[in-house]
Every structure is written in structure tokens, then in C-alpha cells.
Structure 1
Amino acid sequence: MRLPVTGDGRFWALAFLGLGLPACLALAWIGLTGETPSALAVCGRLAGIAAFLGLGLAALALATRGRAALFALLCFPASLAAASGPDGPVLALAALAAALLSPRPMTGRHGSARRAGAALAIALVVLARPACAPLVGMLLVPFPPPGRRVRAWRERLPLAALALLPALLPALPPALLPAASPGLPPPGAAGGGLVSLPVPLPGFLTGVWAAALLVPPVALRRGPLPPPAERLWLSGCALLGLWLAVLPQALAPAGGLGGMQARDLLPLAPMLILAFARGRIGTAAALRWPALLPVLAAAPDAVVLPMIALRA
């Protein structure tokens, strides 16, 4: 069954706003229970949620391929849990950069503007998280044809260098970032690891999310993949980012990866989405029903999490 609306950016943007907003607010409320937060802390969390939702909406509206995967990434429970802290805008900026670089081919003034916007988004991510510097690799795709390589590299390499400059600066001080993600356990504490939720989700939601993340890549096999060289390049950049994120944890005095959390790795996922997102066939915006699985997975979160917040 083909669904004409699921290839439209407005559909994904409205679904993200309608399902992501109640879940983000519920998780922020859960994080405030048992506390007496100041008005400044509450405003900081609301500002983080607004930035996450605004950047996520822009990413879904501007993407030309991979919208279902970007939606799933932004509505992933760990992403929503980080939305009101400094990690939420970082993830949304990485998703926006991938969305801006999704057209194939990318030519003309719009192509230059998209690449410049992506460079700015990546620079902000690298400023907040220097370990995300491999995101710069997205600026070099799609690879130019042989006859245009010199001109293309002359335009892209300076942008990549500018996006990398923040990696030479200290990370943003805590005073310039939104309040910490609500309810997240400190590194190494019980309930840490790769789970970044202040409350455990019911088991059936875990199964729904597993289907939402695993089924669409297998079922939605229409349209061409990027060339193998680009897939290998972006996958290598993602592996380099993973190594840069894991290395400080492994070299810490305590050793091990007990402080690693899902929100530390999520900003690298847009590179893999850009590497494996298929292009459209013709001009039709329709997709088959598996594209809706991320929406079906996010819908229970928007109901269950507010119920948990009301109980708390």
C-alpha cells in the first residue's frame, strides 16, 4: 500500500511537533518532580525544548530523502529525554546538517546556501562537542564527477575547514548551555549506561521502537542508494566519531564505558542516514506503509510519558 502523504515534509514536521512536544514536556516535568527549581532553570529547559523542536522541524521540512529515518532519530526516546538539555539542540543541529545536504544532485545557488547552512550547523555542533568533528565529512558529499572535482573541492574544503575550527576551541562552558537534561543519571550511576530516560519505558514500547528502526530499512528498498564510495566514506566518519566519543571514557581513571550514554552517540547517526537514505523514483512523494512505523512508535510515547508525568 502506498501512502501519498508520507513523502511530504509537512507530514513529518507536523507529526514531529504533535508527538514530540507532549513527550518532551512530560520528560521535563518528570525531571522536575521532587525539586524546587528556579524560574531561570525552568525557562532554560523550555528554551532547550523549543530549540530542539524548531531545529527538528527545519530538518524534516528541508530534507529531500531520509525523512522517516530523521523522524525516528528525533523521536527516539533517548533523543526526547535529552531535548531540554544541551544535548537536544546538538542532536537537532546534526540532523539539520544532514537534511540540508540530502539533495542529489546539489547544484546552483540553493546548493551553495544549503552547504553553507550545513557548515554553520556542524560548526555549532563541534563547538559544543569536539568529538563530533567527523560530521564535517558530510560536507564533502555527494562526491563530484571527475570533470568538476577541482572546482568542487575548492568550494567545499574551505567550508569544511571553517566548520572544524571550533574543535580547536574549548567546549562551550556550562553557563552558556541550557540546563542539564532532566532526570538523567550521572555518569556511572545506577540506571546510566546507554539508557538516558528518567523513567523506564514499558517493554512493549521497546519492541515497537525496535520494529520502527529495523523494519523500514529492509522494507523500503525503492529508489537508488548513494554510490558505494560515499557510503564507505560516511560510515568511516561515523566510526571515527564513535572512537573519539569512546576514547575519553576508556582512558578515564576509572576505566570502562560506564559513563557512556545514548545521547553521546546520537549526533553521529545523521551521517549514517545520509549514507544509506534512498532517493525518490520520479517525482512521486508517496512511500509504502513501513514508513509510518516510526510514527506508530512515537505515538504511544506521546501518551504514556504524559501519564507517567501526571502520576509523578
Structure 2
Amino acid sequence: MKILTKDGQKISYSLVFSLILHVGFFAFAVKKIAPPDSFSIPQQVAFTEKKNSIKLDSIKFISLKQLQAIKDARNRQVVANETSGKNERPANSRFLGEKDQTFDRQTMAARNGAFKEAGLGKKSGSESTLAQTEPKSRPRPKKMAESRPKALKKALSLSDLGGFKMAEVEKMQNQAQETLQEMKKKMDEEARAGALGVDKGQLGKNGLAQNSDFVEDVPLGDMTNLNTTEFKYYGFYHRIRQKLEQHWGTSIKDKAKNLYRSGRRMPASENLITSVSVTLNDKGQIVDMQIEGTSGVRELDQAAIESFNKAGPFPNPPKGLLVGGRATIQWGFVVKS
């Protein structure tokens, strides 16, 4: 798709939409630090609580090396993960997750998007196959008396047959029911084999895995298999993540369009990272927001701020994260151009 700028120059929108497929974010578990006596706003950041706005002037740039330093300083990265690993605590892992688990080989889902576990099936399968073959509610098995042929019900009665003969008839009927159930099970398995997924995917799920976490130094694969240590507050971070995912991609798309309309371009082949520190009160409302590192592109930094503002308020922070009635979380937003 092409559009015309004011001077008539054609600009490709392909990169704009490809950004949506290569955006992600990351969260860190941070050590609790006692707040100062007063919450002052740094000089380089102008903050208005009413609008949760930040002036993006004179904010320091952040490099991948600095990002790694932030990760090390703030413990480890909180990630969304498959739950099919071995229930063993990893000896040394930089990832925090829902539970302790290890995998023989760590991989990161190649598809970018809101976190999703891989379903059982094959990559060439159909995403609608499983849904079509599994009814919302299975038919209720008929009672034994209801399932007998009418002729049999009329011909047989307790007065006509002894207890032994009646037991034989019921046995035959039960065997017939078991045969039907086995046939249905086999048909379901064949349907799943044609569903979209991977051979090691989750039974009862459909589709390919995807993830929006920004994880480095882990090879891409069909699933998100990361060695994780159980994080006590994973549920809180996960709920924030789910709310952010509803707005982050849309905000990036809108900002990217504005960027190209103004005749500017994204820096090529770079990870553009915006690191944000957000302070919540005990009700999950944003009371302070600071940019700790800028991507260098004003529109992307604005998208990160807008995503948090639109996603809030958030769930009440756990008491263990509160210091002086407030909890501070670190979050990163990444765009791969």
C-alpha cells in the first residue's frame, strides 16, 4: 500500500505494518526500595498526575548494554511461558515465571503477538478443524432402557427372563456403548491431527504459539520454552501484561503512521527501547511515571506512555510490593525496525 506525502513522494507502508509484528515488552521484578520523604519529580521529566503526561526532552538514551545492566540490577525478567516443562527449579535462570520448570532446550516462539500456547496438531493444519469437530456439549448418553431397540424392550421383561439372561443382555449393550465411544475417540484424534498446531502442543488448544516478550540470546522455535523460577507476584505482572497488550500494538501503529506522514523514518536495523518506571498506589492507579531510557524516537516513547495510561488502572498491587502505600514496577517497550 502506498500513500503520497505533501510533496508527492511515495512512501511505503509495509514497514509501518511490519512493526506490529515485531513489537514486544518486558517486565522486571525489582527489589523494594524505601521511598524518599517526598516524591519529587526529576528535573528532566515533567509529570502531571491528572494526565500522567511526560515531556520527552533531555531524557537519556538507552543501549542494549545498558538494558542488560538494568536487568542485572533489577534481578530477573518476568516472562510468559508454556507450562509443559519438567517441574524442576532451574539451577541458574534469568527468567521468572508462573512456576519452577525446566526444558531440555530453551526456545522463544517465533510469532509475535499476545501470549498464546501452541496447540496439538500440525503447522499445515486448519485453525478451525478442532473447533468444528468438538461440539460445545457432548450428547448425553442415553440410559440403558432408552437405548434398547423397541422390539427388544417389548420382547424382554423380568417376567420372561431370569436374572442371568438379563445380565447377559445388559453386558452386550455396555460393550456396544464402549465400542461407540472408542470410535468417537479415534475420530477426535484424527481431527486433532488435522488441526493447526505442533506435535508437542497442548491437548485441547488450537493454533501456533506466539509471545510478545523481548527475550535475547534464546533461539526462535515453535513454542516458548524458558527455564523459569517461580515468582510470587507473577499473577500481578501477568494481569498488567494482558491489559497492556490491548493497547501497545494499536498505539505503535498510530504513532508509526504519524511518523511516516511527517516524512521521517525509523532508524534501520535497531532495537528501539523505551524503559519506563511506573508507580502505583494501593488501588492500582498510576500516581507517577518516569522514562528511564528513551528509544530516541519521540513517537515510540509517547506510545509507551499512552499504552500505560489507557491500560490503567491496574489490579491492586500485592501487599508485599507496597512500600509506603506505593509499588514501583519497571517495564520496557521494544520495537524492532
The structure richer in helix per residue is 1
Q: Over alpha carbons, which structure has the higher Rg?
A: 2
Does the TM-score normalized on the shorter chain lie above 0.5?
no
Higher fraction of strand? 2
After TM superposition, the score normalised by the length of structure 2 is 0.23
TM-score, normalization: structure 1?
A: 0.24
